[in-house]
Amino acid sequence: MNILVIGGAGYIGSHIVYELNDAGHQVTILDNFSTGLRENVDARATLVEGDMQDLTLLDRLLDGEASGSAGTFDSVIHFAALKAAGESMEKPERYTRANLIATMNLLNLMMRHGIKNFVFSSSAATYGSPEYLPIDEKHPQKPINYYGYTKLVIEQTMEWYSRLKGLRYAALRYFNAAGYDVQGRITGKEQNPANLLPIVMEVAAGSRPKMQVFGSDYPTRDGTCIRDYIHVNDLATAHVKAMEYLASENRDLTLNLATGEGYTVLEVIKEAERVCGRPIPHDITDRRPGDPAELVAASGQARETIGWKARHSDLKQLVESMWNVYK
Ligand code: UFG
């Protein structure tokens, strides 16, 4: 298939581009390199440098003109978004612009050009604080941070467009994405990370003297937040399967992508100390606004519908794949 990957030079997008090329698809990347890295771009893909918020460019691209490939796209996969839940509580306007407005414009242009298949990076952050665990796809969606709200609004828009315009969408609700390509093909590190694991790695590698653990008074086994960490290579296989499902089954998909296994912040730090063979200095500080105590998924629906299961997301393997890049 002929696929447009928006944000294909970014942390998650670059892993999916490799997987799509490995599966024999024809890939065009649109990326503005605001956080994406040239060194992570798979040379097999066609690269268009530009901003998805440049609607003239996006219009031409979806028309097939600027893509360098024949005709337009069978499917669009969209990664170009902001993703720091904590930051979204301080700078919501950035998230309105980059996540909401940009995606709404994209959907409208896709409809104009008759492109019906859309794989969207949604998030566990759409659920908010769990009412029960593990969280399945039917769990109420009541986000407690603005980031999660932006993802929820897009999910709801996709549902309407499915009914009104024949959009076929996959809303993939990632839990906590981490890890680096197990084949070692992607080695460019995220700059100024806000997520736990890259920060732990920067401390282990010595580029950051110490880190903070945000809160130790949560109702969890050691007082720190529990998250369900999922390896990016596993996310990558799920995207390819979801995209192929949309094309072959002609039905929408909403899936959790996770392992069903949760780890506390302190457990993650301890595992990293074991893998890296060095201490990871950390201070316990106040809670970060917008953090639910525990996010752990039921991931059976992905297995049943698209035959997907995490294979690289064991915490040790996940940390090792990151340490290979950061050491
Ligand atoms: N944390 C720290 N110190 C840090 C960074 C994070 O203690 O320096 C803690 C956080 O407070 C949280 C946990 O580590 O308890 C995980 O935090 P992340 O920032 O890594 O991830 P979040 O759970 O906030 O959010 C991530 C992604 C979102 C996604 C969500 C889904 O950033 O895009 O997982 O679960 F929606």
Do 114 and 208 share a domain, yes or no?
Answer: no
Do 174 and 33 share a domain, yes or no?
Answer: yes
73-124 per-position pLDDT tens digit: 999 999 999 999 989 999 999 999 999 999 999 999 999 999 999 999 999 9
Q: Is residue 242 part of a domain?
A: yes
Burial class from Cβ neighbours inside 10 Å (0-12, 13-18, 19+) for residue 282 reads middle
Do 159 and 277 share a domain, yes or no?
Answer: no
- CATH no. for residue 311? 3.90.25.10
3-state secondary structure 290-323: CCCCEECECCHHHHHHHCCCCCCCCHHHHHHHHH
User: Which pLDDT score, from 0 to 100, does residue 205 have?
Assistant: 97
Burial class from Cβ neighbours inside 10 Å (0-12, 13-18, 19+) for residue 50 reads middle
71 or 210, greater pLDDT: 210
* Ligand 1 atom at shortest distance from the alpha carbon of 224: 15
Ligand 1 lined by 25 (C-beta under 6 Å): no
Phi-psi map region of 220: left, alpha, beta (phi>0 left; psi -120 to 50 alpha): beta
What one-letter code names the amino acid at 220? T
**Is the pTM of the predicted complex or chain greater than 0.85?**
yes
d(CA 183, CA 189): 15
Q: Does the active-site annotation cover 147? A: yes
Number of domains the chain contains = 2
Question: Which is catalytic among the residues 11, 147, 263, 326?
Answer: 147
Do 220 and 240 share a domain, yes or no?
Answer: no
- CATH no. for residue 50? 3.40.50.720
Do 173 and 293 share a domain, yes or no?
Answer: no
Do 240 and 269 share a domain, yes or no?
Answer: no
Q: Is residue 190 part of a domain?
A: no
d(CA 138, CA 147): 20
Residue ranges making up the domain that contains 251: 2-178+229-257
User: Which pLDDT score, from 0 to 100, does residue 64 have?
Assistant: 79
User: Which pLDDT score, from 0 to 100, does residue 290 have?
Assistant: 83
Q: Is residue 27 part of a domain?
A: yes
Do 86 and 220 share a domain, yes or no?
Answer: no
Q: Is residue 187 part of a domain?
A: no
Do 77 and 143 share a domain, yes or no?
Answer: yes
Which SS3 state, helix, strand or coil, does residue 73 take? coil
Do 207 and 118 share a domain, yes or no?
Answer: no
Do 246 and 264 share a domain, yes or no?
Answer: no
Do 266 and 299 share a domain, yes or no?
Answer: yes
Q: Over pLDDT 70: what percentage of the chain?
A: 98
Last residue of a domain, one of 206, 241, 257: 257
Return the percent helix, strand and coil in the chain, to nearest 5: 40, 20, 40
190-199 per-position pLDDT tens digit: 999 999 999 9
Distance 145 CA to ligand 1 centre (A): 12
Residue 66: pLDDT band (50, 70, 90) is: low
Do 212 and 134 share a domain, yes or no?
Answer: no
Neighbour tally for 192: CB within 10 Å: 9
